[in-house]
Structure 1
Amino acid sequence: MHLSSRLNTTIGQATDKGPKHQNEDCMGIMVPDEPALTIKGMVAVIADGVSSAEAGKEASETCVKNFLNDYYSTPDSWTVKTSSQKVLTALNRWLYGQGQRFIDAHRGYISTLSILVIKSRMAHIFHIGDSRIYRLRGGEFEQLTSDHSAHVSKDKAYLTRAMGMDIRLDVDYRIESVEAGDLFFLSTDGIHDFLSKKEIKKALQSASSSLNVNTNSNVNTSSNVNTNFEDVCQALIDQAKEVGSDDNLSCQIVRVDQLPDANSEDVYKKLSDLPFPPFLEVGMSIDGYRVLQEIHASNRSQLYVVEDIASHKKWVMKTPSVNFEDDPAYIERFIMEEWIGRRIDCPNVVKVPEEARKRQCLYYLCEYVEGNTLAKWIETTNKRDVGQILDIVEQVVRGVRSLHRKETLHQDIKPDNIVITPDGEAKLIDFGSCLVAGVNEIATPFERDTILGTATYAAPEYKLRRAGSVRSDLFSIAMMTYEMLTGHLPFGEAFDHCESAQDFSRLKYQPAYLYNPMVPAWMDGALKKALHFSPELRYESLSEFVFDLKHPNQQFMRLNNQPMLERNPLLFWKVASGILLVGQMVTLYLWLS
């Protein structure tokens, strides 16, 4: 990974069972090595097993241990929010299921849970129950979580939300920017119910001021366990016990000493480790690969068919354009293409192999696929077989969904980026415009390259400078499907020149069956919905779109059975005017004769 978080923290924690016979609190902090620290961040977790539950201790331990293990096992491309929510949902279902063994499920596996994830320059907070997370920034001590409890009397309260309490999980989530020097404090109610915010703040300020925030960019360690912070945690526990705490007591301190430097040149240095290769010609060799053929060359990249001299296996080699040799945003996007490709395993997506040998310059290899592009197929085919086209669409959708499962948008789905093999297999190629949500939330010292795909197939929201989504890739697939079925585009050439919402509003969708009578009205209805200019009015998922392409949707059938006046008023009045004109001409002819 070319990015390096340079996140450095100082941590400390302590726990005590207090007057109870066992400690049902559980907590943990994980600061992984690179590249996980950059891609996933560091995590602090604290949980308080509900004492009235039969398995509160097991519940809290399960929450902490499983979250720390499973969070770092989620795909690198997922965002913090997606990764955490997937893990928490699975955890909650397991706890809830285990709790059903008890006569009263609410006395089973129940625990509070508060999680702090610091990734790049942001803090992600997940919370359910009445454990807490605070932040000390400068002189301000702020509680970042809200207790999920209801007070029935001055001294009696009960939880309204907790892990394992309900099959439906409702976890609070918030995201906060992080500054060097921020100190986060996590605690269970055995401490914060008996000590005031003022008392906790005083102890934390005293501890923090005794240590200088580390701003040395040469520090290699990402986390320091500090005995002073652990002493402060223990002191707060002792203080709470002295004033009558009758519960388990646990707390953690996480201080941010160093964040990724927004002005650092380290990223560019890493990106520039490998020089750009020269322009390659047939017969030239590079790192044991001989160039057999140039496939494509543009101002942004070159594609070659190469042969491994040792094994004689063919590959496709992509090289960057020397026009961007000093552009870190371009280089990052080029490097990310290989990173993305290696994480996708789908027969309908071109494969990118693991690095087999040390490289002398910047390029990457991908699977060599024999066949023609879908663009060539559309250009040369005369018989537009609906069944064959639907089969191709299904394969493309499978490929795109494999990207979406990694929280990655393709953003350049078009016929030129689909290869059809002689056996009829469709493969999605090119990751040059992909957006990886998990990587996109990592700060960089430069503005990322947001180059998008071909305007002809790109969803309107991109031209309107709005965020893309799964429905944006759906729009591109629908555009391509329409072209396969008809040989035309649904909005004509004017679509390419639209720059504003008003421009798009002037366009008119042309039904596919006007060009190809073999396209049924209900299939055209599915295309029209998928091609709506408003993303929220398109299909929610690609599978819904494919289903409606293959199965008659009664909604679209009803629309087709409407009177022409309702379906197409303009055409109705044109036809009516034509009929009236012919009638008048016949009347005039009879009158004159």
Structure 2
Amino acid sequence: MQRDPVAALAAAAGLRVRIGQHTEAGRKAINQDFHAACIPQAAPLAAKGVVLALADGIGSSRVSRVASEAAVRAAVEDYYCTSDAWSVKRSMQAVLGAINAWLHAQTQRSAMRHDQDRGYVCALAALVLKGRTAHLFHAGDVRVVRMQGGTLEQLTEDHRVWIGGGQSQLSRAIGFRPALELDYRTLPLAAGDVFLLACDGVHEHLPATAMADILQRHGDDPDAAARALVARALAAGSEDNLTAQVVRVDALPPPDAPEALQLREGLAPAPLLAPREVFDGYRIERELHGSSRSHVYLATDLETGARVALKVPSVNLGGDAAYLDRLMLEEWIARRLRSPHVLRAHERTRPRSHLYLAMEYVDGRTLAQCLRDHPVVDIERVRDIVEQVARGLQAFHRMEMVHRDLRPENILIDRSGTVKIIDFGSVRVAGLSDDGGSQPEQVLGTLQYTAPECFLGEPATARSDLFSLGVIAYQMLSGRLPYGARAARLRTRTEQARLAYTSVLDDARAIPAWLDAALAKAVHPLPHKRQAALSEFVHDLRHPPADWVARRRPALAERHPVRFWQAISLGLALLALVELALLHARA
């Protein structure tokens, strides 16, 4: 099963590969192997990459072919149904984990529930080529090798255990246990790389030298290479099913090419606009905001009558490709988030002639404007704002996105009190950053609100956004910042650990000590010392944290004053009796 021709060519996004596949039942009556490959076109290729998958059914099971087909279809079809924002790792692990649970449940409901070797079980290897990175997933004894410059390298280790007498069995497989244990690794790609996926019916009967020879001799014809590998293994005495997949990487996207949709291709930056001007079907009403980076206008969609906010790049950044990429990515992100606390993209019904953003218009003020008028906020209002922002951030985190620039200027409050997160220009999208974590990340957020780990080049995480939200809560309660810009000047974890937290408690406000402890934990310089989740931080703002309660357990006199004084009285009475006894003894 495959969506494109066997020896297909993928030209979109700069990634070009050729794939060859071949399978035979061999000397067996039934072929329990299953394989597939998919080379999507244009946007899906850039967003999700090329996928190859090969599953090897086990000979002791009559239903293993069902497992093989289900697992491969999940890897090749369901994978493309996951969010573009998800990383390759999360997407593939999600679909394979789901099919593993289903196959295991099928076995448990069948007559084979007491004999896993006869159930819905198969070995599987899946390879995803995205951008300039290869992602490898593996469970079982399907083997993946790579040839570079004539040298063959085995990339997987067979999950087999030997039980004596020359016999072995799988220690890991799809459908084998309720939870799937899956090997995962990433590798940088190079033009000319050749990958081979082979079942044990092939790789157990071909030495590495024979594989390398065949791959080199058929270097320009992966389909012929796959057929030759199967034929050579069969001639060498293989008595199992035989399947081979060969993929050759012909070209890669340039190193600086964004692994996302080419959102701004062919579009010139929009010009500065003026009131009453009609632009791309929008009537400009007035300018809402202007800065050195962008201009935001209130406009009316003449087709629908909806009021929208148009964001156009500033003139001095019109030639900055990285900035324009991030600007267009904002709309891509907004269309993938569903939350009343995240700004929505305006639904577009006509083509765009220039590069700009069209977002929903919210009649309100930023939190920064509110804090200028009222630098210190009521505790209950702080809780309300934090809770709403946390719900918006959770929408990002569910899609494997991190905002990275949460600050009062990027929090909008409408006239009804609804809080929305705006400005997605610094958002980190895991699905667009699948480089294996090899590159240090650029700090894009505002220094005073950015988590300290980001200044060490570490990837921002959900706990980084939690830090920023903690700083905002601290600012609303105290009118100041916990560390200012000091964290940005520190370049080691040891230095950051010495950052001293200043309490928000003072004589002017009745702030509970446990709430201050919750803030101190949220803005801790070390990410593992913060709350584990946004929901925990929100809970801690309304309830004394359990660790704080444990440290500050009240004394007996405070918890049970009556028992305390009873104990004191009893102690005094016993002491008096001892004194009387001593006096009597002396007499």
TM-score grouping bracket, smaller chain normalisation: 0.7 to 0.9
State the match for 2:539 in structure 1.
547
Residue type of the alignment partner of 2:434 = E
Q: Which moved more, 1:50-59 or 1:298-307?
A: 50-59
Following superposition, the deviation at residue 84 of structure 1 comes to 1.0
Following superposition, the deviation at residue 161 of structure 1 comes to 0.8
Change (3 A) 1:322 1:79: same
Alignment pair present for 1:253 and 2:253: no
Give distance in 1, aligned partners of 2:37 and 2:367.
50
Alignment pair present for 1:198 and 2:209: yes
State the match for 1:508 in structure 2.
500
State the match for 1:103 in structure 2.
113
Following superposition, the deviation at residue 237 of structure 1 comes to 2.3
State the match for 1:303 in structure 2.
296
Change (3 A) 1:496 1:317: farther
Q: Which structure 2 segments of 5+ residues have no match? A: 1-10, 556-587
State the match for 1:401 in structure 2.
394
Following superposition, the deviation at residue 400 of structure 1 comes to 0.8
Residue type of the alignment partner of 1:167 = P
Following superposition, the deviation at residue 287 of structure 1 comes to 1.6
Residue from 20, 26, 33 that aligns with 1:18: 26
Q: Is the 8 A contact 2:280 2:352 kept in 1?
A: yes
State the match for 2:65 in structure 1.
57
SS at match of 2:215: helix
State the match for 2:572 in structure 1.
none
Give distance in 1, aligned partners of 2:467 and 2:424.
18
Following superposition, the deviation at residue 462 of structure 1 comes to 2.5
Residue type of the alignment partner of 2:193 = D
Q: Structure 2 matches for 1:476-491, cutoff 5 A?
A: 476-491=468-483
Give distance in 2, aligned partners of 1:452 and 1:377.
24
Q: Which moved more, 1:263-272 or 1:309-318?
A: 263-272
Change (3 A) 1:461 1:449: closer
Residue type of the alignment partner of 2:25 = K
Give distance in 2, aligned partners of 1:267 and 1:561.
53
Give distance in 1, aligned partners of 2:507 and 2:454.
28
Alignment pair present for 1:69 and 2:61: no
Give distance in 2, aligned partners of 1:180 and 1:476.
41
State the match for 1:33 in structure 2.
41
With the length of structure 1 as denominator, give the TM-score of the two structures.
0.85
Q: Is the 8 A contact 1:4 1:267 kept in 2?
A: no
State the match for 1:369 in structure 2.
362
SS at match of 1:252: strand
Residue from 73, 83, 88 that aligns with 1:80: 88
Write out per-residue CA displacement over residues 67-120 of structure 1, whole angstroms, 9 at most, x where no aligned residue. Answer: 211110111111111111111211211111112123315131111000111111
Give distance in 1, aligned partners of 2:17 and 2:23.
20
State the match for 1:466 in structure 2.
458
SS at match of 1:99: helix
Residue type of the alignment partner of 2:372 = E
Give distance in 2, aligned partners of 1:461 and 1:87.
32
- Number of aligned residue pairs: give it: 539
SS at match of 1:372: strand
State the match for 1:168 in structure 2.
179
State the match for 2:139 in structure 1.
128
Following superposition, the deviation at residue 558 of structure 1 comes to 3.6
Change (3 A) 1:146 1:454: same
Give distance in 2, aligned partners of 1:269 and 1:248.
42
Alignment pair present for 1:320 and 2:307: no
Alignment pair present for 1:378 and 2:362: no
Write out per-residue CA displacement over residues 275-319 of structure 1, whole angstroms, 9 at most, x where no aligned residue. Answer: 223322333331222222222111111111112234432111101
Give distance in 1, aligned partners of 2:250 and 2:405.
41
Give distance in 1, aligned partners of 2:22 and 2:522.
55
Q: Is the 8 A contact 2:47 2:260 kept in 1?
A: no
Q: Which structure 1 segments of 5+ residues have no match? A: 212-227, 564-593
Write out per-residue CA displacement over residues 393-420 of structure 1, whole angstroms, 9 at most, x where no aligned residue. Answer: 1111111111111111111111111111
Identity %: 40
Alignment pair present for 1:8 and 2:19: no
Change (3 A) 1:148 1:319: same
Give distance in 1, aligned partners of 2:507 and 2:306.
44
State the match for 1:233 in structure 2.
226
Residue type of the alignment partner of 1:458 = T
Q: Is the 8 A contact 2:338 2:395 kept in 1?
A: yes
Give distance in 2, aligned partners of 1:410 and 1:4.
29
Q: Which moved more, 1:182-191 or 1:272-281?
A: 272-281
Give distance in 2, aligned partners of 1:269 and 1:345.
23
Q: Structure 2 matches for 1:202-213, cutoff 5 A?
A: 202-208=213-219, 211=220
Residue from 517, 527, 543 that aligns with 2:519: 527
Change (3 A) 1:497 1:183: closer
Change (3 A) 1:309 1:239: closer
Q: Is the 8 A contact 1:408 1:436 kept in 2?
A: yes
Write out per-residue CA displacement over residues 343-377 of structure 1, whole angstroms, 9 at most, x where no aligned residue. Answer: 11111101002332223322111111112222233
Q: Is the 8 A contact 2:160 2:168 kept in 1?
A: yes
Following superposition, the deviation at residue 461 of structure 1 comes to 2.0
Give distance in 2, aligned partners of 1:264 and 1:467.
20
Give distance in 2, aligned partners of 1:57 and 1:436.
37
With the length of structure 2 as denominator, give the TM-score of the two structures.
0.86
Q: Structure 2 matches for 1:148-187, cutoff 5 A?
A: 148-153=159-164, 155-187=166-198
Q: Is the 8 A contact 2:288 2:297 kept in 1?
A: yes
Give distance in 2, aligned partners of 1:411 and 1:264.
22
Residue type of the alignment partner of 2:92 = S
